[in-house]
Structure 1
Amino acid sequence: MRGTSLMRSALGLAAALLLPLGLAAPMAPPAAAAFDPAAFDFWVDSPVMGPIKTRILRAADGNTNRVVYALDGMRATEIISGWENDTNVPQVLAANNINVVMPVGGQSSFYADWNAPSNFFGVPPGSAGSSSGSGATEAFLSGPGKSYRYDWESFLTNQLRWALRDRLGFNPYRNGAFGLSMGGSAALTLAAYHPDQFSFAGSFSGYLNISAPGMREAIRLAMVDAGGYNVDAMAPPWGPQWLRMDPFVFAPSLIANNTRLWIAAGSGLPMQQDLEIPFGAAADRLVRGGPLEALALANTRAFQVRMMSLGAQNVVYSFPNAGLHAWTNWQEEAYRMIPDMSANIG
């Protein structure tokens, strides 16, 4: 009994430190998910970050009025969005006559405009470290957000926005944005500060109060683990730039903008499809994804209380009885969200 209690305590501490930030490795995708040949690469230059790839999937009916940005999690790769690689959500959106915009890259970026390129203790990237391994071993390697300053919010709301209009005819107003974990928080940030561009924002398993006690250090650990990034390069502690990124702080703006919000987190219990995989993989998914999603649920519930205390009437909350910190959960949540989002964009 004592050993079980200690293990539970250890798991709880690890989960508290790694919180609902998407630190669990993305779980196995459904069989239908993968690179979609119907989608295409759309390159746009950022004056700060250089050429940035976005994957585009056109609406089935050919309209250009209904547009949604699907934002990735902390382990975003430079190759393909997790939404395309690990789910069939882009195809479902396109079938519902919604144009899908999937920015590629931005690992640990929070889709924010950073204060400086990421480095540690003033040591520039490329000075040390190993090219193998992950997390802390990557801290001194060069690469996205290290050899240059991340400038994602400006890119999404300026260069990419107008390039989509000018080259594809996409409507630059009343778009939607949604994402998991890091991307969920970022979707709310984009909607809060760019209400003409985003009339809808969805957060799945997001961390929506980054100024709560312990959160900054938890995010620090998360960013080191997800590519070796330094939170201090993103925003100085507790200053205006940091507070600007906190959904708990800017909640009144979301209400004043009358942004339609979809706020969701799973229960931490497995769905049936989480159990229909080999035993070892299912056990791993449950052990890692359960505690993380339980904490995501607690974090999201706190944001719900904040919004309710402000009298918000513009939010749909989704707390399903099952759902781990896994792509299976986020895919099912997107299915639930799509009708409401469809009615509130364009």
Structure 2
Amino acid sequence: MLVAVGAIMMGAGGGHAEVPKVGTTVVHRVVTQDGSRGEVTSVDGRQVSVRIHSAAMGRDVAVTVQRPADTSVPRPSLYLVNGAGGGEDTATWSRNTDVVDFLADKNVNVVMPVGGAWSYYTDWHAPDPTLGVNKWRTFFLDELPVVIDTMFDTTGRNAIAANSMTATSVLQLAIARPGLFASVAAYSGCAQISDPVGRRFVDVVVATGGGNAANMYGPPGDPAWAANDPVVHAEGLRGTKLYVSNGNGLPGEFDKLGDPHLITWGPVGLANQVVIGGVIEAATNWCTRNLQQRLADLDIPATFDLSTQGTHSWGYWQKAFKNSWPLLAEGMEIPA
């Protein structure tokens, strides 16, 4: 895809791309061949805010990029994707974990998009009355990487990691565009979406945000459900470095009063995490074990961390991310 790069020059120098500094250096503007646009809107140290206009969806998407510790040479990119809320709520990696701080001394661009709540980051068949036009697969495959690679002078080596709803999405993206993401980490997701149980899981997630999953892949029985099922199309994951984790829904080390990862403090917050988070994690555990068996049947290597305990909550995802970091780094060809 062709891109044009424009800039407001304010004392800009040459060489490799550096952290843009609004008012003192280049304010990047990138326009892709399909009409998507990206521009820096603010800079706070190494945290660069980028606004990307998606031509596919006709909307602007906010993206935060944490620049590498050393920007003297091109660096790879890790796409760190939030869960069902799409980063539009408080359930984000940056708010609920120390993962962004953990990555601060790593030589990697950390790309964190905001938007797409309850959409499964896929291309929907039809606009939804509540969730609007969703062409998130096109955004992640054809718009976002082009802007990031052009704006920040990357190596073109990518990895992607996500939790909960979007753990399904990152597997779909890897299958849809082999090689774009050299390594993929999926925490507590349900990859199996086209059978009645998995489809019901998707229905519930989308409905939580007020959407109708029939607008996504059609009614039950529509071939689009199977066409987008990572378990059905697991062969497409061959050659991708995979890390998949899941608890079993039973209370574990992070399910206790006073744990800093509780989204809601106190007994009520803990009860919600143990009861609701336990039920969700038990369901995703079933899905994940089916994915594990499918990959084993196909003789496709993958690292599975199926802990004996743990609910659908941030303490476990923070731990899983750090456990998966060596694999993610290997795919990006950088030291862990």
Decide: shared fold, TM above 0.5.
yes
1:170 aligns with 2:154: yes
> How much does 1:108 deviate?
1.0
Within 5 Å, which residues of 2 pair with 1:121-132? none
Instruction: For residue 268 of structure 1, give the secondary structure of its aligned residue in structure 2.
Output: coil
Identify which of 50, 61, 67 aligns with 1:58: 67
Deviations 1:57-103 (A, max 9, x none): 11223353221111221122436771122212122123232221111
Partner of 1:73: 83
Identify which of 324, 327, 336 aligns with 1:340: 327
Partner of 2:214: 232
1:99 aligns with 2:99: no
Within 5 Å, which residues of 2 pair with 1:99-178? 99-119=109-129, 141=130, 145-146=131-132, 149-172=133-156, 174-178=157-161
Whole-Å separation in 2 of the counterparts to 1:112 and 1:41: 24
Within 5 Å, which residues of 2 pair with 1:258-269? 258-269=239-250
Partner of 2:286: 298
User: Is the alpha carbon distance of 1:296 and 1:76 closer, same or farther for their aligned partners in structure 2, counting shifts above 3 Å?
Assistant: same
Instruction: For residue 334 of structure 1, give the secondary structure of its aligned residue in structure 2.
Output: helix
Number of aligned residue pairs: 280
> Of Structure 1 and Structure 2, which has the larger fraction of its residues in strand?
2
Aligned residues of 2:246 and 2:288 also touching (Cα < 8 A) = yes
1:308 aligns with 2:296: yes
Whole-Å separation in 1 of the counterparts to 2:308 and 2:70: 35
1:42 aligns with 2:50: yes
Instruction: For residue 248 of structure 1, give the secondary structure of its aligned residue in structure 2.
Output: coil
Q: Unpaired runs of 5+ in structure 1?
A: 1-35, 120-140
Within 5 Å, which residues of 2 pair with 1:138-287? 141=130, 145-146=131-132, 149-172=133-156, 174-225=157-208, 227-237=209-219, 238-255=221-238, 258-277=239-258, 278-287=266-275
Which AA in structure 1 matches 2:147?
A: A
Whole-Å separation in 2 of the counterparts to 1:322 and 1:96: 30
Deviations 1:131-152 (A, max 9, x none): xxxxxxxxxx5xxx32xx1111
Q: TM-score, normalised by structure 1?
A: 0.76
Instruction: For residue 171 of structure 1, give the secondary structure of its aligned residue in structure 2.
Output: strand
Aligned residues of 1:94 and 1:100 also touching (Cα < 8 A) = no
> How much does 1:324 deviate?
1.0
Q: Name which structure has the greater RCO, CA cutoff 8 Å, separation 6+.
A: 1
Deviations 1:293-313 (A, max 9, x none): 122112101110111111112
Q: TM-score, normalised by structure 2?
A: 0.78
Partner of 1:3: none
> How much does 1:202 deviate?
1.2
Aligned residues of 1:67 and 1:170 also touching (Cα < 8 A) = yes
Whole-Å separation in 1 of the counterparts to 2:89 and 2:282: 30
Deviations 1:314-339 (A, max 9, x none): x1011123321011111111011001
Which AA in structure 1 matches 2:106?
A: N
Which AA in structure 2 matches 1:289?
A: G
